[in-house]
Amino acid sequence: MGLEVIGAGFGRTGTNSLKIALEQLGFGPCHHMFEVRENPKQLPAWEAAARGESSDWDAMFQGYRAQVDWPGAAYWRQLATHYPAAKVILSVRDPDAWFDSVQATIGPFMTTMRGKHDQPHLNAIAEMCSKFIVQDIFEGQMNDREHATRVFKAHVDAVGQTIAADRLLIYETGSGWDPLCEFLGVDAPEEPYPLTNSSKEFQKKINDTN
């Protein structure tokens, strides 16, 4: 089947809400980091990708029509090339608000809590994320606001300069259904756009899992 939608936005840019929205619009299942958390068999392939090994994208996304969030978002260039007909959505938000959200949620999961989770699977995910996110994307400085927001802005610029305009939607968190539905060529649902996985909700999920 292959991916029809590629999410290039960093984690904590409304990606879980976007996942649910895409599924409501008929582009599901949609892959997200939560898929790796809930399906341990997926982890080895992503660990290999984090080590820079070749990836079988068709196998890794078998059964999925869309992808958002890390880990997939880290490989947006490869995915955009591998799935040339797929549309690309770059979810964005205010860089400082994004940084604050990261520090309250996934930042500690990958740094101070690394190796301290009760479940081996969560520790393995944290180790993988530390490699390809904290080290590779943020050069070990994810906790530095100036550096991290600079990387965030550079990522937004890189996607915008690489993906053709008619293939790309830069989607501001909180924009609702209209820009998304217009871009995908589908009708907007009557129900409100989903709003999920706030910082408090994320922290509760981690505490409940540990």
* Segment 134-146 mean pLDDT: 95
Single-letter residue type at 53: E
Q: How many residues comprise the chain?
A: 210
Q: What is the domain count for the chain? A: 1
* Statement: residue 164 has pLDDT above 90: yes
176 burial class (0-12, 13-18, 19+ CB within 10 angstroms)?
middle
Range of the domain at 88: 5-209
Give me the pLDDT at residue 119, please: 83
Helix (H) or strand (E) holding 110: helix 106-110
Given pLDDT bands bounded at 50, 70 and 90, which one contains residue 115? low
* Statement: residue 7 has pLDDT above 90: yes
Q: CATH number of the domain at 90, please.
A: 3.40.50.300
Instruction: Summarize pLDDT for 37-52 with one digit per residue, the tens.
Output: 999 999 999 999 999 9
Given pLDDT bands bounded at 50, 70 and 90, which one contains residue 117? low
